Amino acid sequence: MFRTKSKLKSDIAFDVFNFIVLGGFTLMILYPLYFIVIASISDPNQIYAGNVWLWPKAITFDGYQRIFSDSTIWTGYRNSLFYAALTAVISSVLTVMAAYPLSRKDLYGRSAFMMIFAVTLFFNGGIIPTYLLVKDLHMINTIWAIVLPGAVDAFAIIIARTFFQSLPDELREAASIDGCTNLRYIWSVVVPLSKPIIAVLVLLAVVRQWNGFFDALIYVNDSHLYPLQLILRNILIQNQPSGDMLADITTLVAQQKVTELIKFGVIIVAALPLLMLYPLLQRYFVKGVMIGSVKG
């Protein structure tokens, strides 16, 4: 009886410790996002004074009004959505086409191919050779310069390969007996059974493309092709909102205040698509990552 009570007390203490530690980590993750939300609708003077930390002060929606009335933001938003969707399709198809053959034990030289893919996780060609390659392919200042260079990720191939290895070999043998070709087997059997890992591949591709701006910064000069993240970079780092946002403001002090509102507001606007997409794919994401990382 004494041991049972001691065990229960230790379990309770362990649970309390876990709740405290995990609760602290949760607050560390959520509070910066919450602060950006309340700062985007607070008076910049209150932010400078340090009065905004739990609730918004002197609520104003001037920053959001200027953001949503600016054509540059909407152009970047449209471009980012298009780039993310196109990258998700291309990346998922190419990853499946590479990962499935590598999961087959009858593929000659698959270990060598996997070694080649693994090397790219540690080394790449470098900025200058990559730029010269993109230039020679005549992709400079086109959407393909943003989509294609990072369309295939070796890490995603490894995860998908591990998932495909968990599929029973009996399925392929039965399909082969029925006269099913490899392409038909992939389309009719593998793909329907691979919804979890495909959801993982789509989410990884979308997040990678949505958060990326470096390729656009290097390869694109036309502002009409800028993704939202590059516009956000110009606002946050270079402190350069679009001229239309500040057209009616004459004093430098007022421009600085409105710029702060625009900075916080653009961050929230840019994060909304991912915040809405992740809950829809969370179930498949967790299942696909667990299967693709444990089995094999």
Residues 33 and 86 in one domain: no
- Using only the alpha carbons of the chain, give its radius of gyration: 25
Q: Is 194 a domain residue? A: yes
Residue 49 lies in a domain: no
- Does residue 44 lie in a domain region? no
Does 138 share its domain with 14?
A: no
Query: Do residue 21 and residue 136 come from a single domain?
Result: no
**What pTM did the predictor assign?**
0.78
Of 97, 92, 67, 65, the C-alpha closest to 200 is: 92
Q: Are residues 162 and 270 in the same domain?
A: yes
Per-residue confidence (pLDDT) for residue 295, from 0 to 100 = 47
Those residues with Cβ within 8 angstroms of residue 132's Cβ, 6 or more apart along the chain or in another chain: none
Query: Which tens digit of pLDDT belongs to each residue from 177-211?
Result: 888 888 888 888 888 888 888 888 888 888 888 88
* Residue 235 token pair: 């606002």
Question: Nearest to residue 242, comparing CAs of 250, 231, 252?
Answer: 231
Using an 8 Å Cβ cutoff, are 232 and 122 in contact? no
pLDDT tens digits, 63-104: 888 888 878 888 888 999 999 999 999 999 999 988 988 888
Query: Is 259 in contact with 236 (CB distance < 8 Å)?
Result: no
Whether residues 140 and 97 fall in one domain: yes
Considering the domain architecture, whether residues 154 and 283 belong to the same structural domain is answered as yes
- Alpha carbon distances (Å) from 95 to 98, 181, 192, 199: 5, 20, 16, 12
Residues 229 and 185 in one domain: yes
The token duo for 148 is 């294609």
User: Residue 55: inside a domain, yes or no?
Assistant: no
**54 belongs to a structural domain:** no
Q: Say if residue 92 is in the same domain as residue 208.
A: yes
Let me know whether 69 and 184 are in one domain: yes
* Structural domain range at position 175: 64-294
Tell me the pLDDT tens digit for each residue of 238-260.
555 655 666 656 566 667 777 77
CB 134 within 8 A of CB 168: no
Q: How many folded domains does the chain comprise? A: 2
For residues 74 and 32, state if they share a domain.
Answer: no
| Residue 22 located in a structural domain | yes
255 by Cβ neighbours in 10 Å (0-12 / 13-18 / 19+) ranks as: middle
**Could you read off the pLDDT of 153-182 as tens digits, one per residue?**
888 898 888 888 888 888 888 888 888 888
Q: Do 63 and 265 form a contact (C-beta atoms < 8 A)?
A: yes
Residue 46 lies in a domain: no
Judgement on whether residues 82 and 222 belong to the same structural domain of the protein: yes
| Burial of residue 63 (number of CB atoms within 10 Å: 0-12, 13-18, 19+) | buried
**Cα angle: 274, vertex 278, 279; to 5 degrees:** 130
CATH of the domain at 228: 1.10.3720.10
Based on the domain organization, do 127 and 252 belong to the same domain?
yes
Mean pLDDT of the chain: 82
